[in-house]
Structure 1
Amino acid sequence: MIPSAGLPSILQRVTRSLLVMALLWALLMAGVVRQVVHHEVDELMDQSLRESAEILHSVIAVLHQQGLDQAMAQVHSEYEEHLVWQVVERQTGALVAQSHKAPAQALLLTLDAEPRDTPDGLWRVVSFGFQNDPGHFLLVAQSEEERVEARAEAESYTLIATLLMGLLVTLLLNLLVRRELKPLARLSKAVQACDPLQPETLPQSPERAELVPMLQAIRDLGRRLAQRISSERAFTTHAAHALRTPLAGIDAQLAIALKEAPDSLRPRLTRTREAATRLSRVMQALLTMFRSGSEPQRQLIDVADLLPTQAFGELQIDIQAERSVSGDPDLLAAVLFNLLDNAQRHQARQVQLSVTQADGMNRLRLQDDGEGCLPEKLQSLRAALARQDYGADGSSKGLGLVLADLVVRAHGGHMTLPAVEAGFCVELSWPDA
């Protein structure tokens, strides 16, 4: 299985991009809206200030003419506390009358009908003169605090609405992206379940136009794999018939020659027969390893029945099998033959073979007393087998380990190479069917 940890996800990348775009859009809109709201609110409040000032001027002008503006200032009627007025003497700047919450000093000493800020920046002021009294004028002011509060409320409400709208759009786009990625997920499941040797299991019509090239490539790959598997099966069948019979004939002829040969030739004939036997085992292992497309034919196996111990001459094999295990007898026999052959070639004299079964797992442990393996080489073998590096670069030499790893993987298990004090050890673990 290809590891997915650490790989970027299309969905996560698209979702993150949408979220970033939504936030940037919201910030941009907030900046634009802030400028617009700031200008429009100021314009509206200036207009309201002028209108309020004109109304107050109309009333106070009459009262001022009648000398009643002082009496009006003493009436504490309810009004907007951030809007105040003052009647100022033009020459001295003294206050003639004022609203009860207005500052005690004149806010401005000049007459100007256009709204402007006071020097301290705390008030926005409009001033009007009296037609019948040029020595006095009316100031109507609105506090800057009220104006800032109004702008802040308008901007915050707009910003919140913009952010909520952006998040809502992001959520909707995320849902749409998830929906559009579902055909790709279904195609992945279909590819995972397909068998190149069964064309009807190959993915059929695509759900999206973008998946058409991918689907065509998968179908072409499936056809090529099916042709390759068929060719390998044909080769395996032909090789099994073409090689097994001559090798068996050679072994039979050597057995007869050993009986009839003089004592001086028997050691050479014995070594020749051992080499032929080893060649037969290697050939059988290779054919088994390349038996493409076939699942393990599981059955209950007594491991002791798989090993004719006399085939390994002086190598002593101590078998400790608690019970039968589930597996393919042909594949496991080929594995054991090659592992024992490896042990014999590395000067082993005794092999401990233990077979256990517990918690639905079959375990086979084979340990010899041969030359063993240096820690650095053992670590290199482990790494090569973990990544299934069976190349000819020397990282995983030996047919026995390669075949054992392939067979145990075909059974859904794994192989480990434990560190031992002496010799070499191989452990195979695979689940029941």
Structure 2
Amino acid sequence: MPATPTLRRRMAHLLAWPLLTVLVLSAVYDYVQALQRAQDDQDRALARVAIALASRLDVDADDGQADDFGLHLTRTVAALQRAEPLDRLAFFVRRVGGQVLGGDPGLARWVQASPQDRAVFADASFDGQPWRVTSYAHESSLGQLQILVAETTHRRERQSRRLMLDTLVPNVLLVLLALGGVLAGVRLAMRPLDVVSRRIAARAADDLGPVPLAGLPGELAPFAGTINQLLDRVREAAAHQQAFLSNAAHQLRTPLAGIQTQLELAERDAPPALRERLAQVRLALQRLARSTHQMLALARSGPQAVQQEALEPVDLAALLEGAANDWLDAALASGVELHFDATPVQVRGSPWLLREALANLIHNALQHAPPGSAVQVSCGPERAGAQLAVQDQGPGIPADERERVLERFYQRPGRQGGSGLGLSIVHEVARRHGARLVLADTTAGPGLRVSLHFPSQA
């Protein structure tokens, strides 16, 4: 699916393209107007040459029949030529009756009828070059004269190129500055939205507090208010969910414990043939109770719970002492030695979630450790914060499966009897506390070491 354009990009396009169009049209207009003015100035200069020739004719009218009359006109044009050596000047003068008084007869075909003492202009091609010609009608003592002056267009072309550069460069700079101003203005205008986005993105998944409205522009305030209303509804739904989970845990735990007690009594009083079946039912009920408890714990610890657990200073050493009392009987029943190495250290977290994570780690270790082996539970400070670890002497977990065992309900091939939720719960608890969960081999012999590394509280 193509990416949706951002609001910043849409605003930049909506502002930049009309502005760019206006600036381009302005540049074209400036160039055309400047070129037209330059051509008008050059045409007037060419017309002044024709007028200068007419004035020369008036001065030399007494020599109008002399053989050197054309030579005088040629010298006059040559003198005018020195003022602009880049272009070539040519002329042609004749009486209306047709008598040629001087100049290049090849220009005769470009003579145009013009009002008295008014110059008329045209473009022509002569000697393989483009020319600009002007026809000028003049009444003198020699009679009605037609004067034509032609000039090559090299200077005009050079001036056209110079005008293009003179108008193009400033307008390009103006376009760049305008586009830069538009982008900067859009960026500044969108800065409050960026601030709100960063604040929301920086929140934890379970932070459902309202978005601050102070300092927001009027256009963003309704949007932020709508988000706050949605957060209120989500927070209320999360509170109902947590209440349901707590009630469900309590309501399920009580009857399951009662059923288990009744089964134990019935198993003790039952005849031998029925006692084995009752034992199997009791073990299945224990697995059901643990699975139910784990699923409720996972629901409360995972991101779907949404509601933030209260964080407080937790002494990991005290947490291990409580676990020793809870799991000593289970370790003795499994024939596994349970060792605790508790160095006082505090982390900031949820006591309930940390107890649940530790209980799942000890349960997994006791379940997979062979009889006669040992399970080591330890805690203490480390350079980057604090750690909590449980190490067993069981078969361990291959490195290529250590990511998968963190998935919910995943069980390794050949392993039965568990729910596949223990390490998932530990993983969620670690995530909620900003801790790093590490599964590694033991330093001596077979086994698995699962450790939680908590960040420093400084």
The TM-score normalised by the length of structure 2 is: 0.66
| Residue 254 of structure 2 is aligned to residue 235 of structure 1 | no
Quote the offset at 1:280 in angstroms.
Answer: 5.6
Partner residue, 2:163:
154
Q: Residue 172 of structure 2: which of 138, 143, 163 is its match?
A: 163
Question: Partner amino acid for 2:243?
Answer: A
SS at match of 2:310: coil
Note the aligned Cα RMSD (angstroms): 5.1
Partner residue, 1:11:
8
| Residue 312 of structure 2 is aligned to residue 304 of structure 1 | no
Quote the offset at 1:319 in angstroms.
Answer: 5.1
Partner residue, 2:355:
333
Per-residue CA distance 1:380-415 (angstroms, 9 max, x = gap): 556xx6xxxx59999xx7211221122112112343
Q: Distance in 2 between matches of 1:342 and 1:7?
A: 48
Q: Distance in 1 between matches of 2:411 and 2:145?
A: 106
Asked whether the equivalents of residues 372 and 423 of structure 1 are also in contact (C-alpha less than 8 Å), the reply is: yes
SS at match of 2:426: helix
Q: Distance in 2 between matches of 1:198 and 1:329?
A: 19
1:68-107 pair list within 5 angstroms:
68-69=72-73, 72=76, 79-82=83-86, 85-88=89-92
Asked whether the equivalents of residues 343 and 380 of structure 2 are also in contact (C-alpha less than 8 Å), the reply is: yes
Asked whether the equivalents of residues 282 and 338 of structure 1 are also in contact (C-alpha less than 8 Å), the reply is: no
Q: Distance in 2 between matches of 1:53 and 1:7?
A: 66
Asked whether the equivalents of residues 196 and 226 of structure 1 are also in contact (C-alpha less than 8 Å), the reply is: no
Q: Distance in 2 between matches of 1:375 and 1:95?
A: 110
Question: Partner amino acid for 2:387?
Answer: R
Name structure 1 gaps, 5 residues minimum. Answer: 1-5, 98-104
1:10-409 pair list within 5 angstroms:
10-12=7-9, 14-15=11-12, 18-19=15-16, 22-23=19-20, 26-27=23-24, 29-31=26-28, 34=31, 38=35, 40-41=36-37, 43-45=39-41, 47-63=43-59, 65=61, 66=63, 67=69, 68-69=72-73, 72=76, 79-82=83-86, 85-88=89-92, 108=107, 110=109, 111-112=111-112, 113-119=120-126, 120-128=128-136, 139-188=148-197, 201=210, 203=212, 207-209=217-219, 212=222, 214-215=223-224, 217-245=226-254, 282=291, 284-289=293-298, 290=300, 292-302=307-317, 304-305=320-321, 306-307=323-324, 308-312=327-331, 313-317=334-338, 324-326=345-347, 327-345=349-367, 351=375, 353=377, 355=379, 357-370=381-394, 372-373=396-397, 377-380=401-404, 398-409=420-431
Residues 199, 81 of structure 1: alpha-carbon distance in 2 compared, 3 angstrom cutoff: same
Asked whether the equivalents of residues 87 and 155 of structure 2 are also in contact (C-alpha less than 8 Å), the reply is: no
Residues 48, 187 of structure 1: alpha-carbon distance in 2 compared, 3 angstrom cutoff: same
Residues 376, 404 of structure 1: alpha-carbon distance in 2 compared, 3 angstrom cutoff: same
Q: Distance in 1 between matches of 2:88 and 2:101?
A: 13
Residues 287, 74 of structure 1: alpha-carbon distance in 2 compared, 3 angstrom cutoff: closer
Question: Partner amino acid for 2:83?
Answer: Y
Q: Distance in 2 between matches of 1:362 and 1:423?
A: 23
Asked whether the equivalents of residues 412 and 431 of structure 1 are also in contact (C-alpha less than 8 Å), the reply is: yes
Asked whether the equivalents of residues 23 and 163 of structure 1 are also in contact (C-alpha less than 8 Å), the reply is: no
SS at match of 1:124: strand
Residues 169, 87 of structure 1: alpha-carbon distance in 2 compared, 3 angstrom cutoff: closer
Q: Distance in 2 between matches of 1:344 and 1:7?
A: 53
Residues 28, 73 of structure 1: alpha-carbon distance in 2 compared, 3 angstrom cutoff: closer
SS at match of 1:54: helix
Q: Percent identity?
A: 23
Asked whether the equivalents of residues 367 and 424 of structure 1 are also in contact (C-alpha less than 8 Å), the reply is: yes
Per-residue CA distance 1:122-170 (angstroms, 9 max, x = gap): 5423355775679997553444222123222333333334334433443
Equivalenced residue count is 409
Partner residue, 2:66:
none
Q: Which deviates further from its counterpart, 420-429 or 153-162?
A: 420-429
Per-residue CA distance 1:270-310 (angstroms, 9 max, x = gap): 87776666666555544544174323333221163234343
Partner residue, 2:435:
413
Max radius of gyration: which structure? 2
SS at match of 2:129: coil
Quote the offset at 1:220 in angstroms.
Answer: 3.6
Question: Partner amino acid for 1:412?
Answer: G
Partner residue, 2:416:
none
SS at match of 2:43: helix
Residues 169, 311 of structure 1: alpha-carbon distance in 2 compared, 3 angstrom cutoff: same
Asked whether the equivalents of residues 131 and 153 of structure 2 are also in contact (C-alpha less than 8 Å), the reply is: yes
Q: Distance in 2 between matches of 1:225 and 1:282?
A: 28
SS at match of 1:363: strand
Asked whether the equivalents of residues 129 and 136 of structure 1 are also in contact (C-alpha less than 8 Å), the reply is: yes
Partner residue, 1:102:
none
Q: Distance in 2 between matches of 1:324 and 1:61?
A: 117
Asked whether the equivalents of residues 125 and 141 of structure 1 are also in contact (C-alpha less than 8 Å), the reply is: yes
Quote the offset at 1:223 in angstroms.
Answer: 2.9
Partner residue, 1:100:
none
Question: Partner amino acid for 1:53?
Answer: V
Partner residue, 2:415:
none
The TM-score normalised by the length of structure 1 is: 0.69
Q: Distance in 1 between matches of 2:47 and 2:206?
A: 88
Asked whether the equivalents of residues 441 and 449 of structure 2 are also in contact (C-alpha less than 8 Å), the reply is: yes
Name structure 2 gaps, 5 residues minimum. Answer: 64-68, 95-99, 113-119, 302-306, 413-418
Q: Distance in 2 between matches of 1:270 and 1:379?
A: 35
Q: Distance in 1 between matches of 2:41 and 2:106?
A: 19
Residues 190, 174 of structure 1: alpha-carbon distance in 2 compared, 3 angstrom cutoff: same
